[in-house]
Each structure stands twice: as C-alpha cells, then as structure tokens.
Amino acid sequence: MNKSFKISNKEYSFYVKYFNLIENEELLHSANIRIENYINFNSVKYSDFFLNSCILHYFDIFFLDFLSKFFFRRSIIRLKLNMILAIQEAEYNNFNHMIDSSNLKVIILDLFKFSLILLTFPIWLFYKFLIFKLNLLSKNA
C-alpha cells in the first residue's frame, strides 16, 4: 500500500474529533485495509496526492470535507471521510455517542462553521496548492 494514503494516528484523531466519535484502533486498522484494497484496484489521481497532502492540522478537515463533498467526490479524501464515518457509526458505542451529543448548540455552531468555510475555502485552497507546488519543486531541485 502506498504509505502516503494510509490513515495515520494523527489524521485519525482529526477525523474522530471532527465527527465527534470515540477512537478505536481496530476500526482504524480496518479502514486502512479497505483503503489498501481500494488503491490496489483503482487508479490514484494527482488531485488525490494534493488533497491528501493538505491534512496537516485539525481545521484542514473542515475544508477537505467541504471540497470533497462538492468538487472532489471521487477522491481518496472523500473515501476516507465516508469510510471513517460509516465504520464508526456501525460500532454501537460511537453511534450512541453521536446521538447523545447532538443538540441545538451544536447545530448552530455547525452552521457557523459551514458559513465560515464557504467564505474562506478559496483562500485556503490557494494556500495549500501553493505549498504543495513549492514542496514538489523543492523535491525535484
């Protein structure tokens, strides 16, 4: 498996925090096996390398979720987000945790986050693309 697409512990903690889930190493291992199977039978695109390189901080997940939901639907990032959510929801404790933590305050905060991301994603995307290109050029130099 291409190690660059494996979900690291740090990346997994971002997803768990983003989706308000409970960490589970067995589920992470299962997700990485499924990603390996996907990569073995599907081609990886340049945009997959770019989007995957963008996961450096927790707030990056907000932008990646938005972009992959509307613009990069067939990307590895969308696969990771959907897979983590599906695997975690299928686990009983996580499902109950998600339901119990939903309230009006969380919904209002999510709407605020979505509005902020909608307004700032072009700047974030440009910044990440510029960093990606500079890293690519420095590796080739």
Percentages (nearest 5) of helix, strand, coil residues in the chain: 80, 0, 20
pLDDT digits (tens, 9 = 90+) for 111-140: 888 888 888 888 988 988 898 888 888 887
Mean pLDDT of 33-37: 89
38: its two tokens: 């996907």
Residue 47 CA to residue 44 CA, distance in Å, equals 8
- Give the per-residue pLDDT at 98: 64
How far apart CA 66 and CA 18 sit, in angstroms, is 13
Query: In this structure, are residues 77 and 64 in contact, taking their beta carbons and an 8 Å threshold?
Result: yes
Distance CA 33, CA 93 (A): 22
The percent of residues in the chain predicted with pLDDT above 70, rounded, is 87
Structural domain boundaries in the chain? 3-140
Average pLDDT over residues 50-73: 88
3-state secondary structure of 17: helix
Asked whether the predicted pLDDT for residue 109 surpasses 50, the reply is: yes
pLDDT confidence of residue 14:
92
Cα distance from N-terminal residue to C-terminal residue, the chain: 27
